[in-house]
Amino acid sequence: MPIFWWLRRWPYTRFITRELTSVAVGYSAVLLVATIWAAWRGEGAYQRLSTLALSGPALLLHLVVLAALLYHTVTWLNLAPRAIVVYLAGRRVPDRLILAAHYLAWLVVSGGIVWILAESAR
């Protein structure tokens, strides 16, 4: 089987692309741990990591990672109605409501994190 077999059909391409975005998730986790480690080691280590992370190539990489993370998140949230079946008063909750609840939760948590970071930067 050829290595790029998944490029022949759009559903396969979307699936493999989504799976490849897990590399961006892993990178983000490693970067978070490295940032915490650098902060724990002291201001000098944190400053060196920040300088590296804010360099031109790193910023470009982080934009690509951000795009991959957003794609990963959206595709993950879109799977929620298939994975969660909720019944209220004997009736199934519509898929759109489950999807909307997940997106709302994502926005609320993201907004909370942005607010906390903005307050701590003051």
User: CATH for 1-78?
Assistant: 1.20.1300.10
Rounded distance, CA 50 to CA 41, Å?
13
Report the candidate in 113, 17, 121 with the shortest Cα–Cα distance to residue 74. 17
Total residues belonging to the chain: 122
Query: Beta-carbon neighbour count of residue 51 at 10 Å?
Result: 10
Between 19-28, 58-67, 80-89, the lowest mean confidence (pLDDT) is in 80-89
Please, what is the Cα angle at 72 between 71 and 75, to 5 degrees?
80
Q: What is the pLDDT of residues 30-61, one digit of tens each?
A: 999 999 999 999 999 999 999 999 999 999 99
pLDDT at 108: 98
Distance separating alpha carbons of residues 85 and 95, to the nearest angstrom: 8
Per-residue tokens: 93? 């909750």
Structure tokens at 58: 């790193």
Answer yes or no: are the C-beta atoms of 85 and 92 closer than 8 Å: yes
Question: Full-prediction pTM beyond 0.85?
Answer: no
